[in-house]
Structure 1
């Protein structure tokens, strides 16, 4: 039985820079479509959030993904930074929902485990594996690489490669029931 390819948009949220990555997944095949960054620039918080919301929506309109995956916020030592990151993430999720996409959320640990096989992998390892898995000529920008990794993690989950029947997420890791 052959399934149609699924176009997945991965988002790595950030207030200054939000990375995006679009892939197509079909069975075990993963094909790179596009990636990049949405930069909010300077200005007031509402203006910057508007830039992010509008930018993610434009990515959705242009690449027409069928599903979306976004990285969950981790708690920083600085509560103000965590709050700002959460607001940027909220703007991105709002854009995805307005585009009519189902949104899956993954911890950084889950993304790293799915892409590298080690939940505590360094950013460089994740970027290198994204390059290898998608047969890219060079390593993508850091935020775009993280977004592509999130899309790859979702593709593994959606096709049964990451979370299969009898698995669940516990404290950010996939474990057997």
Structure 2
């Protein structure tokens, strides 16, 4: 809407996030729980905590409950942890160095375990194609299209 005296239209910066959270609220009312994302932490806490915290905050901004077991996972243990979480999607959280070693195997294991979408916290750089081939659907990082990523996550979890 344009103000009566002319000037710039008023834009509510948080409107897109409010719409995402309204979808989550409706899901909560219908099912008794919020849509969930499993945070697949690779390596020790010192390595994964920063990106796990970033991913957790981003997901919560869209009404998605992050499920973070403080125990790190790997390709052998991630399927059981993902299934136990009750989440529909997953997000890999670690350092670029550990991603290079483990992300492809862990992403493939998450997809095999039924993850409808696999995110990776961080910029993929030259590994983008390899990660995507392994099952990573999107990358979350400062400056990414957060609303687009969150909306897509809710879509794949069938949150109306």
Q: TM-score range by the shorter chain?
A: 0.3 to 0.5
Comparing both chains, which one has the higher relative contact order based on Cα–Cα distances under 8 Å and sequence gaps of 6 or more? 1
| Structure whose CA Rg is larger | 2
Going by fraction, where is helix more abundant, 1 or 2? 2
Structure that is richer in strand per residue: 1
